[in-house]
């Protein structure tokens, strides 16, 4: 199996132990989160007339042999062609994009291109070019290794957008949520870029631009956000989850179609997993099976999302993809007073399935703080028995909330007290995390607060796979 052994040191800058695990006593200096101005250099347009901008890629099929390339041109549609080739080959291939535009209140988008590149080789570096001369732009990406049970793979977990301080070629992947486009976002991404552990893809748990923070949902902030994160999104796949700030539902100004800007700008490979909607879908990547759910779409019994998940979970072959990971926006286990219990109805619907199919990890955003649970479930209640307290359950997932990147709404720093028994570690700080899957049995995880050195882990744990190595990996004793 080729096990790699690594020991992580849990480093705490002061902590208090409550009924549950650790409520960190680290105090971040209070400062308002402020969006960077429109003339910030991180929002700069690429040089040249009608140059492609806001370039981003995501996985384009179920197994990792396709990539969706997306970009925007402002003045006219321009070229719809993507030219691409393997790094060690001189043979160039061509694929054609589809172009769309949308209007939102008094805003009209640029020309949004989406192109799916298919039949790629696994674990191969590809270059691609978009645009017309003299404003052709070149980027690159690496496809994942072939799906397999002991394929190592690293995901990053971050909550905010990129700075331009470090070259993109020093970072290979992230996972994010609640990004926004503030000065704190810059700091979070710079911290990630300097992390000696490098990710290979992004698992994004929702809330992108926060354009809805502004009057009339100023969609120019969708454009600045797309240019801001391009230095990452053009080079590595981001796996998209929709959050509440993607709804953009505002009947008072005539905008009655939920998710309009998001669905026009960002594509997902939903049809590859039999989904009928781009807001929920699944992919395989290396040794992980990733399921994306929509917290703000209907999920009651008989709804399309419910029916899809009911059919999807039995399809997961843990001999092929041992690690079963779920992404959503609204957390189910949240001991912060902010957004408290907002995910409760979805938890009631789906948690028994998560335990039945031994989901390993669930990542969420929404709450602008960091929290990691123990393996717990709360599925015994049947209206008359009164059993409605979360209990430790080694068949259940660990729930991690990582909406802590630095968006304009600031930190959620009002924790409920005492700390619940199911909560292993929590802190109201900005930061990022890394998940290193080593093989079918072990994955190493660490969370890094912005206030520490680049390699320091404020919270860390070795996770054991629920299917292949289901031993207790709790970090608190109750």
Which residues carry out catalysis?
339
SS3 348: helix
In this structure, the dihedral spanned by the alpha carbons of residues 213, 41, 206 and 147, taken in order and rounded to 10 degrees, is 170
Buried residues in 359-396 as b, exposed as e (16+ CB within 10 A): bbbbbbbbbbbbbbbbbbbbbeeeeeeeeeebeeebeb
In order, the DSSP letters of 19-77 are: SSSEEE---PPP----BPPTT-GGGPPPSSTT--EEEEEEE-SSSSS-EEEEEEESSS-
Contact 202, 175 (CB under 8 A): yes
Listed residue (431, 444, 439, 443) closest to 28, CA to CA: 431
Cβ–Cβ contacts within 10 Å for residue 407, how many? 31
d(CA 370, CA 353): 25
d(CA 435, CA 462): 10
d(CA 193, CA 173): 9
């Amino acid at each position: 199996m080729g096990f790699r052994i690594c020991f992580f040191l849990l480093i705490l800058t002061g902590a208090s132990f409550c009924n549950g695990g650790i409520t960190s006593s680290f105090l971040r200096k209070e400062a308002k989160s402020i969006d960077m101005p429109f003339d910030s250099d991180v929002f700069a347009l690429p040089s040249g007339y009608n140059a492609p901008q806001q370039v981003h890629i995501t996985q384009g099929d179920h197994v990792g042999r396709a990539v969706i390339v997306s970009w925007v041109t402002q003045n006219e549609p321009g070229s719809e062609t993507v030219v691409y080739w393997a790094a060690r080959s001189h043979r160039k291939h061509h694929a054609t994009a589809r172009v769309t535009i949308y209007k939102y209140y008094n805003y009209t988008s640029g020309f949004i291109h989406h192109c799916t590149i298919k039949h790629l080789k696994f674990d191969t570096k590809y270059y691609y070019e978009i645009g017309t001369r003299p404003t052709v732009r070149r980027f690159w990406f690496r496809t994942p290794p072939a799906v397999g049970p002991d394929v190592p793979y690293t995901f990053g977990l971050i909550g905010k957008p990129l700075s331009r301080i470090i070259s993109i070629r020093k970072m290979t992947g992230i996972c994010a949520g609640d990004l926004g486009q503030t000065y704190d976002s810059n700091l979070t991404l710079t911290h990630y870029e300097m992390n000696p552990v490098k990710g290979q893809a992004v698992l994004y748990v929702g809330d992108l631009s926060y354009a809805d923070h502004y009057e009339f949902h100023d969609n120019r902030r969708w454009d600045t956000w797309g240019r801001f994160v391009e230095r990452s999104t053009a080079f590595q796949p981001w796996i998209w989850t929709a959050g509440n700030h993607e709804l953009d539902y505002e009947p008072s100004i005539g905008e009655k179609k939920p998710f309009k800007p998001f669905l026009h700008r960002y594509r997902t490979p939903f049809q590859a997993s039999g989904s009928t909607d781009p807001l929920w879908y699944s992919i395989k990547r290396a040794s992980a099976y990733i399921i994306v759910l929509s917290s703000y779409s209907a999920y009651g019994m008989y709804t399309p999302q419910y029916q899809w998940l009911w059919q999807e979970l039995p399809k997961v072959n843990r001999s092929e993809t041992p690690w079963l990971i779920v992404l959503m926006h609204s957390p189910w286990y949240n001991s912060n007073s902010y957004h408290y219990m907002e995910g409760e109805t979805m938890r009631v619907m789906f948690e028994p399935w998560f335990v039945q199919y031994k989901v390993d990890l669930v990542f969420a955003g929404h709450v602008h703080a960091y929290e990691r649970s123990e393996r717990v479930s709360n599925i015994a209640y049947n209206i008359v028995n009164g059993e409605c307290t979360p209990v430790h359950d080694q068949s259940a997932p660990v729930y991690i909330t990582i909406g802590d990147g630095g968006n304009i709404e600031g930190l959620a720093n009002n924790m409920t007290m005492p700390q619940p028994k199911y909560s292993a570690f929590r802190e109201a700080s900005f930061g990022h995390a890394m998940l290193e899957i080593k093989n079918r049995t072990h994955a190493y995880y660490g969370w890094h607060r912005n206030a520490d050195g680049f390699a320091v882990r404020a919270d860390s744990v070795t996770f054991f796979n629920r299917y292949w190595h289901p031993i207790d990996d709790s970090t608190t004793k109750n």
